[in-house]
Amino acid sequence: MGYDRVVYMQRLIKYLPVSRLPLSLINRVNNALSSVYEKVLWRQIKDGYMPEHLAIILDGNRRFARQLGLNAWSGHKFGAEKVRDFLEWCWDAGIKIVTLYAFSTENFQRSGREVDEIMKIAEKKFEEVLKEAKVHKHKVKVKAIGRINLLPKRVQESIKRAEEATKDYDRYLLNIAISYGGRAEIVDAIKEIAEDVKSGKIDVKEIDEKLIEEHLYTSGVPDPSLIIRTSGEERLSGFLLWQSAYAELYFCDVFWPAMRKIDFWRALRTYQMRDRRFGK
């Protein structure tokens, strides 16, 4: 079944008198069509160039929860579970480096209960790295980036254990931006460079883009080729401000916990259709 046929069938199901069709039948047909469409999209992108480094802003957890009549942290739990699926999609596509924007420095301004629940989720997920078979199978190095010292001690300790357990892996890299802010990252880099100038390790004339990049949280990692943001918001919200200079940006309407492989394949297809000139 070709792409046009899939779209036609989806539209047909949408406009049929729903009251005359069992909900179970509608769901089965939609699932079947989605499966076919997913395969069509994969054929379109599988031989194209993939981003070496993909970054994503995980947005829409709270709105997803509200739609279901649940509290905000339930949305964060759904979102945390979605990460596992998303990483598998990335590995299937051969994407070597993934950076997830999980929690910003500004997010500390949320209610104490919500922040505490998010920290519990973070602690649990970093602990799961230790026994997650696919992390070890795929040799995924896990690294947290941000002002880690602002996190609760228990979360810091979980991060250290996860990083230690995966420090020798080199097939894939997973950066988790937590307690992260793009401006904070640049400020921290400038402070480190200023200390080196003050101590005489470097001369002011030696400061250039390369030196600044060496002091960023992502030192040694290529800049992202593609940045995705879910939930329909179209801004970076301080995410990888320095590194995003020539990144392709893709915004999709779906809330993060509801993201499907189809949505991701579409993002990659759009990326492959763009002509990246880097100012040339």
Q: Has this prediction a pTM greater than 0.85?
A: yes
pLDDT at 35: 81
**CATH number for the domain whose boundaries are 50-273:** 3.40.1180.10
For the chain, the domains span 1-47, 50-273
Using alpha carbons, select from 184, 147, 186, 144 the residue that is nearest to residue 166.
144
- Give the number of other CB atoms < 10 A from CB of residue 93: 17
pLDDT at 17: 54
pLDDT at 1: 45
Residue 130 to residue 266: CA distance in whole angstroms: 32
Low pLDDT (below 50) residues in the chain = 1-4, 8, 19
pLDDT at 69: 95
Question: Residue with structure tokens 């769901």?
Answer: 27
pLDDT at 278: 79
Using alpha carbons, select from 140, 42, 34, 31 the residue that is nearest to residue 89.
42
Please confirm, yes or no, whether 59 is among the known catalytic residues. Answer: yes
- Give the number of other CB atoms < 10 A from CB of residue 96: 16
Please confirm, yes or no, whether 107 is among the known catalytic residues. Answer: yes
Please pick, among 30, 71, 107, 263, the residue that the annotation labels catalytic. Answer: 107
pLDDT at 27: 61
